[in-house]
Structure 1
Amino acid sequence: MLLFALPLAFLAGFVDAIAGGGGIITIPTLYFMGLSPAQVVATNKLLAIFGGATASVQFWRKGHVDRALILRIAPVALLGSTLGARLVLGFDDDELFRNIIAALILLVGVLVVTNRKLGLSGRYEGLTHRTFLIALPAMFAIGVYDGFFGPGTGTFLMFVFVRFLYFDFVTGSGNARVINFLTNLAAFLAFLLSGAMVWWIGLPMGIANALGAALGARMAILRGSTFVRVVYLGIVLLVVVRLLTAG
């Protein structure tokens, strides 16, 4: 099973470091390996912190993370993720919920496609009242979402940073990777004592995920915003298809 899962974990880390969406690869993989839904969610958080940490360090060291902003909004995202991991999903109709999320992510893709200059250059305004008015509630809401559901979290984070806070795609990706790592870490800690994590699967997949994330982050930094934008749009489509076809 691991021979099947490790290359997919590597691929998930690669795409997640560039544009988010790695969960659309790892979550079905874990289901295929026979894990229960609770084990899938918990084990996915375990492996995701490996790739998230690796990509975050790469972007941070290369200066593609706005440290001042991240340090101020990260606690709100952490709070949201911890709360989300402890909540019971409020929708009785899981299929309806997936369809709503898929529609929102598809809308994100449409907005990126129709604005060809979006994210190709940075126009970030700094630590203004407008920045915090947008960032704080957005980070909390996305944190809650990541804690109890997850797929598409990186997609939403990048969209907020690029569309509403005016970062270019590379720095937007770096910011998103750091926040996503922290929300995964918070959810991981919440699940830690649940007994649902399958460590013998999550740890080796986490290492493979980290290797893929290192390569993906390096590619994003070297190739620039145009490359990240193309990969991002591809991931948007994959996330939508995965959500709409999930059983």
Structure 2
Amino acid sequence: MTDLAFHLLLFLFAAAFIAGFIDSIAGGGGMVTIPAMLIAGIPPLETLGTNKLQSLFGSGSASLAYARHGHVSLKEQLPMALMSALGSVFGALLATIVPADALKGVLPFLLIAIAIYFGLKPNVGDIERHRRISAFLFTLTFVPLIGLYDGVFGPGTGSFFMLGFVSLAGYGILKATAHTKLLNFGSNLGAFVVFVLNGVVLWKVGLVMGVGQFVGAQVGSRYAMAKGAKIIKPLLVIVSIALAIRLLADPAHPLRVWWGI
């Protein structure tokens, strides 16, 4: 496609900043950047590939911010990030041959369930709880599974990682957020490699949006560290519900097609 006009690049930069801010706290930045790129006239496949490029800046920026303040050890969590990336590579490859209608159909209800879990569970806060699964098993099973999902489809990946860290690993919500960003970086990187090999990444657009993502994630992560569960928990609930509504509002959603509405 031809180069985008300056005002469209500025629009995408602003969208990426907002997405980086939201994503660094509660995930769901893709529900801002993907529609923005489609509105700007970028084809769907290039939108997905470019979205992974610019998302790398946001998740990487947030990971560095959380690491600098001691909420995550990048070195210790590297195996998890690698497993997330590996799962995402297989997911992105599967996306070329497996229809995503089944995922699209059930995803809004999974997101609503996550919103209900975090919204109604009173003891979800910054204090760590009992671990229900070993770190080794968590790394070998849950992490690559969510990474695979991110490669196949993507929306809500951060919410699913958050749910796993809080409910299975027993993390407090701020620590879970910090670790989620690193695994998001891994899954973004894995899928990004596949999209690059398929030639569907718009580098200029992705880099411009990447700058917006980086700055937005720095602002968002600092805000999350200052406010803790008081901001992360409600924003996670809001983002999960908003993403579910957006998916259900799509005329091409399988349930709407099935019901003829």
- The question of whether the paired residues in 1 share the 8 Å contact of 2:126 and 2:175 is answered with no
CA distance in 2, matches of 1:54, 1:201: 18
Deviation at 1:106, TM superposition (A): 0.9
CA contact (8 A) 2:57 2:211 kept: yes
Which range is displaced more, 109-118 or 54-63?
109-118
Q: Give matches, 1:96-175, under 5 Å.
A: 96-123=102-129, 125=131, 130-175=134-179
Q: Deviations over 1:180-225 (max 9, x none)?
A: 0111011111211222111221111110111100000000111112
Q: 1:150-186: CA deviations, max 9, x gaps?
A: 1111111111111211111111000000000111011
CA distance in 2, matches of 1:238, 1:27: 14
Paired residues in the alignment total 244
Alignment of 1:1-247 (within 5 A): 1-65=8-72, 67=74, 70-88=77-95, 92=99, 94=101, 96-123=102-129, 125=131, 130-246=134-250, 247=252
State the structure with more CA Rg.
2
SS at match of 1:100: helix
**Which letter maps to 1:50?**
F
**For 1:137 and 1:112, how far apart are their aligned partners in 2?**
22
Runs of at least 5 residues in structure 1 that lack an aligned partner in the other structure: none
Partners of 1:138 and 1:129 lie apart in 2 by: 10
Q: TM-score, normalised by structure 2?
A: 0.87
Name the CA distance, whole Å, in 2 between partners of 1:11 and 1:4: 11
Residues 170 and 221 in structure 1, CA contact (< 8 A), matched pair in contact too: yes
Q: Alignment partner of 1:122: what SS?
A: coil
**Alpha-carbon distance in 2 for matches of 1:124, 1:186:** 31
Change (3 A) 1:219 1:131: same
SS in 1 for 2:126: coil
Change (3 A) 1:136 1:11: same
Q: Is the 8 A contact 2:133 2:169 kept in 1?
A: no
Distance 1:89 1:193, change over 3 A: closer
Q: Secondary structure at the match of 2:95?
A: coil
Kept in 2: contact 1:66–1:171 (CA 8 A): no
* Structure-2 change in CA distance of 1:112 and 1:198 (3 Å): same
Tell me, which stretches of 5 or more residues in structure 2 are unaligned? 1-7, 253-261
Aligned to 1:10, what secondary structure does the other structure show? helix
RMSD: 1.9
SS at match of 1:87: helix
The TM-score, its normalising length taken from structure 1, stands at 0.92
What SS does the aligned partner of 2:71 have? coil
- Conserved? CA contact 1:119–1:166, under 8 Å: no
